[in-house]
Amino acid sequence: MTKEEIQENNKKSVLIGLSGGVDSAVSALLLKKQGYKVISCFMKCFSETKNQLTGECSWLNDKRDAQKIAAQLKIPFVQLDLEKQYKNQVIKPMISKYKQGLTPNPDIQCNTIVKFPWLWKEAKKLNCDYIATGHHARIKKTKQGCQLLKGRDKNKDQSYFLSELTQHDLEHALFPVGNLTKDKVRQIAKSHKLPIWNKQSTRGICFVGKVNIKTFLEKTIKNKPGNVMSTEGEIIGTHPGVQYYTIGQRAHPSIGININKPHYLSQEKLYIAKKVGNTLIVAKEDSRLLSQSEIIIKNFYLINPKDKIPKTIQARIRHLGQLHHGKLIKKGNNYLFSPNKPIKSVAEGQYLVLYNKDVCLGSGEIRLK
C-alpha cells in the first residue's frame, strides 16, 4: 500500500467484528497498518453453549480474547447483545425447518440477517465508513457493481457462507485476510505476539459452536419414532425422528438408528437416501437413489443481477464441498441446476451456491423432485 493510500485511509474509519479468533484479530491489525481508524465490536449472539472443562459459557472466553486483542492493538472495544435477534431470526427458523424434515444451513442466514446488518447499523451510529470481518473471501468492484470472490486460500474459503450478501453489504464491507492463506494469517499473528495466534478455528453452527445436532434439536423437538425402510420396501429398523437426520448420513446405532439387516444387506453399509413422511429409506452406497441429476433451487438469489451467467457454471452443496460443473436452467418461475454428473448426498434445505470460476454468483435452498 502506498503512502498516499495510507494517508487517504487515515480519513476513514471501520468497525470490525472481533470474534476473539485469529482471522478477525489479524484483520484488525492489517486495517490499522493500512491507516484506517479501527473500532472493534464483539457480538454476543448465543450464550447456552458451555465449555466442557469449566462449565462456563463459551462466549465469555471469546469475549475476553477479543478484549485482549483490542487492548493490545489499542483500538476501542464495543459489544452488541444480539441474542434475542439471533434466536428469533436464525435459531427458531432453523428448528422449524428441521421439524419439516429439511436440513437447513443457519450460517448463511446468520451473516445475511444478523451479523452484517447489525454490524453496519452500529457502524453508522459510530460514524464509521466501513465494516470488516475476518472472513476468507474477497470483494471486487466493477462498473457493474460488486462481486464476491472466493478467498485466496481454497481450503479456508468462506464465500459459501456469504452467498446471500447484497450489493449494499459488499459496497461498505472489507475482508482484510481474503488474500491470505490461513498459515500466513497465523504467522502474522505470531510475529505480532497476538495471544490467539494458534487458537483453533470455530466449528459448528455460527455463534453456537460445535454441538451434536441431534442433542441440540431434542431440547425443542419431541421424538417422533418411525420406521427405516430398505429400497426393496422392507421395514428393517426404527429411528427416533426424521428431523434428526440428513440425506447421505450413514444409518448406524451411534446416531439412534437401529437396523436389523436382512441377509441380502448383512455386509453392506447403509445410508439415508430419502425421507418419506416419517420414514427413512436407506440404501447401499452405490445406490442410484443417493444421487441427483437435477436440483431445484428455491428462492434463487443473485449477488449481482448484472453478472452474466455463463453456459457452464460450478456449484457446491456444502461449504468447501466438491465443485460440481453443470448448467443453470430456468423452467417457468423455477431455477434448476443440472450437473454434468449426478451428485451424491444432496439434502433438501441445504444451500446450493453457484460459482463462475472465482466469482460467487449467488445461491438458493435445495429442493428435490
Q: Give the residue numbers annotated as catalytic, written as ranges.
A: 110, 206
C-alpha–C-alpha distance, residues 12 and 297, integer Å? 40
Beta bridge partners of 5: none
Closest CA to 39 of 108, 119, 139: 119
Say which amino acid occupies 181: T
Number of H helices, E strands in the chain: 10, 20
List phi, psi (to 5°) of 11: -90, -5
Please answer whether residues 172 and 130 qualify as being in contact, where contact means their C-beta atoms are separated by less than 8 angstroms: yes
Residue 296: how many CA atoms within 13 Å on its side-chain side? Answer: 11
Q: What SS3 state is found at 94?
A: helix
Cell of residue 262, nine digits: 436382512
C-alpha–C-alpha distance, residues 194 and 69, integer Å? 7
Pairing of strands 130-132, 13-17: parallel
Please answer whether residues 313 and 353 qualify as being in contact, where contact means their C-beta atoms are separated by less than 8 angstroms: no
Please answer whether residues 180 and 166 qualify as being in contact, where contact means their C-beta atoms are separated by less than 8 angstroms: no
Largest CA distance in the chain: 75
Q: What is the CB neighbour count within 10 angstroms for residue 152? A: 18
Residue 99, judged by CB atoms within 10 A of its CB (0-12, 13-18, 19+), counts as middle
Cell of residue 198, nine digits: 494458534
